[in-house]
Every structure is written in C-alpha cells, then in structure tokens.
Amino acid sequence: MSDFISGGWSVYIAALTIVGLLACLALLVIASRRKVMSDDNTTGHVWDEDLKELNNPLPRWWMWLFVITVVFAGAYLALYPGLGSNAGSLKWSSAGQHQTETDKAVAAMAPVYAKYVSMSAEDLSKDAKAMGIGERLFLNNCAACHGSDGRGSKGFPNLADGDWLWGNSHDAVKETITKGRNGVMPPMAAALGSPEDVRNVAHYVLSLSDSAHDSLAASLGKPKFAACAGCHGANGKGNQALGAPNLTDKVWLHGWGEQAIVNIITAGKNNAMPAQAARLTPEQVHVLAAYVISLSQATTVASK
C-alpha cells in the first residue's frame, strides 16, 4: 500500500490493528467479571412483566474461545502480511505463491515439451499430441481475443485466413507471441489535404482490392496515396516489417467501406497485441506458434 500513498498510513493502520486486538482482550476481561447490581442478581431490566435480565458473567469456555481467536489473529499478523506494509516473518505473498506454483507446473511439464523443442513447425503440425497441447494453450491464452476458432473479430486479426501482418514464419509468430506487437497507423488527414482528398484516397484504397468504389474518386486519390506508400508500399501490398496491412487482399481488420477507411485515415489506429512472455515458457510458445500457423494452413487446404 505504501507504493501509492504515504508510508505513514502503513504505521497508522498497523498501530490501529494492534490497538484493536488489545482492546478486544480488555473487553473480554471486563465482560468476564461479575459485578453485583442487585440482591437478586438481575440488571433491574424487566420485560413482559416477569422476564428479568440476569447479571451473569460470560461462560469461561466462551471467553477463552474469544481469547484464542485474538491470539490467533496476533500470530497470523506476525507471520503473514497484514500490519500495514509489514511483510510478516514468512515473507509470504500471493504473487510469490503463484510463482512457486507456476514453477512447479513448468517443471512437471518439462518432460512433455522436451520432445517438441527441436521439432519444426511442419513436424509439429503433423503430431496430434503436439497440436492438442497447442490447442489448449491457444484456448487458455489467445481465444479471448482471437476466438476459439482463431477467426478473430473486428480489430482482432483472423489467424485462419492466410493474411499475416507481421509474417507467418515460425520465428515471426514466436516473436509476436513472446514480445507482442504494436501496430500504429498515424492520422494522415493533414498530410493528404482536404476532406475530399481523404475521401478520394479511401476510394483508391477500395480499388486496390477490386472492392466497390467510385472510379473517378479513386483516380483522383491515387496521387495522394503516395503519402501512404511509405508504410503500405507503392502497390499497397503492405510491409510485414512494419506490420502495415496489405490493402489489396480484401481483408479488413477494422471495417470495410468508404466511411470506415475515412475514419482510420482521419483518426489513425493503434492496435496492440500484448506480450505473452510472462505467461508462457519458450517451450510452450514453440508449440503454440506451430498451432497458430496450422490454423491458416488448414483453411488453405480446405479452400482448394
């Protein structure tokens, strides 16, 4: 907690906790003592004419049960974090326990992955057990964004269509999974000129993939497309080194049509693929990358 507020609060909370425990003990001691309030051992309170409240002390077993609870709380706070920023004598933390359990799981699975480390993506794709492991890794770590079938959705790349922003070699896919990717499309409206110029370029982009477009607007937008060629190439086929999309293949990650393209040219786009190095071991990434590549290969074979 002292990471984001004054360290004085840690001392304050620790002191408040200790005082609270001591106050509980004091209250138990006071409540356990019998104090005569009247000759008939009542408090003087009467309800429904004949119901009298007796002035009996707490039963000893009940009092000691509370005492044990307070002592347990004190021992717990000494061993585990709880007194402000004090880590406790055992230095336990949820992050540390998670890491310990993760290390045990990795060690237990090491023999399983050992046989796959030296295998190529092509060989892994032919191994049913390896692909089964890859599928489970994909479902647990990638499906939330790319879908359980890898076909993605708007803003999340389809991994089964053969269109690759950063390349589809085994090493390229492993790098994407391990380090993540950040695809940036800067706002280009100012570089193109007027809103009409932006619209014309949008139609030229549509023409590159033989999509429905205004041919006159496209012809006017072609010279202006030179401002985009630095990333997408003069022919619009993109650049995998930059993650710049191929504009000729009818694959539209962020939506299709004049308005969608105008919006991207005007506002730009920033698409991030988070790094998975902290979640997956190199051996797991090796198998997972082969599975991801196999998704597009299966689609290619099925389409023939």
Are 243 and 116 in a shared domain? no
103-113 pLDDT, tens per residue? 998 899 999 99
Are 14 and 120 in a shared domain? no
Are 148 and 191 in a shared domain? no
Question: What is the percent of the chain where pLDDT is above 90?
Answer: 72
170-181 pLDDT, tens per residue? 999 999 999 999
Are 190 and 268 in a shared domain? yes
Q: Model confidence at 36, in pLDDT bands (50, 70, 90)? A: low
Are 137 and 21 in a shared domain? no
45-89 pLDDT, tens per residue? 888 888 988 877 778 888 889 889 999 999 999 999 988 888 899
Structural domain contains residue 158: yes
C-beta atoms surrounding 95 within 10 Å: 8
Q: Is the pLDDT of residue 35 over 50?
A: yes
Structural domain contains residue 91: no
Q: Mean pLDDT over residues 143-153, rounded?
A: 95
The tokens for 216 are 């006159």
Q: Mean pLDDT over residues 149-178, rounded?
A: 95
Are 287 and 208 in a shared domain? no
Structural domain contains residue 93: no
Mean pLDDT of the chain: 90
Does residue 270 contact residue 180 with C-beta atoms inside 8 Å? no
Are 267 and 188 in a shared domain? yes
269-296 pLDDT, tens per residue? 999 999 999 999 999 999 999 999 999 8
Instruction: Supply the DSSP string of 142-178, one letter for each residue.
Output: THHHH-TTS--BTTB--TTSS--SS--SHHHHHHHHH
Structural domain contains residue 140: yes
Question: What is the percent of the chain where pLDDT is above 70?
Answer: 94
- Domain encompassing residue 265: 184-273
Looking up residue 210, the CATH number of its domain turns out to be 1.10.760.10
Are 283 and 250 in a shared domain? no
Structural domain contains residue 86: no
Structural domain contains residue 88: no
Are 63 and 114 in a shared domain? no
Q: Mean pLDDT over residues 7-13, rounded?
A: 84
Does residue 177 contact residue 288 with C-beta atoms inside 8 Å? yes
Q: Is the pLDDT of residue 302 over 50?
A: no
- Provide the number of structural domains found in the chain: 3
Are 32 and 144 in a shared domain? no
Structural domain contains residue 132: yes
Cα dist from 5 to 8, 15, 85, 93, whole Å = 8, 17, 11, 20
Are 298 and 171 in a shared domain? yes
Q: Is the pLDDT of residue 5 over 90?
A: no
Are 63 and 194 in a shared domain? no
Please, which contacts does 149-152 make with residues 24 or more away whose CB atoms are closer than 8 Å? 149/295, 150/292, 150/295
Structural domain contains residue 2: no
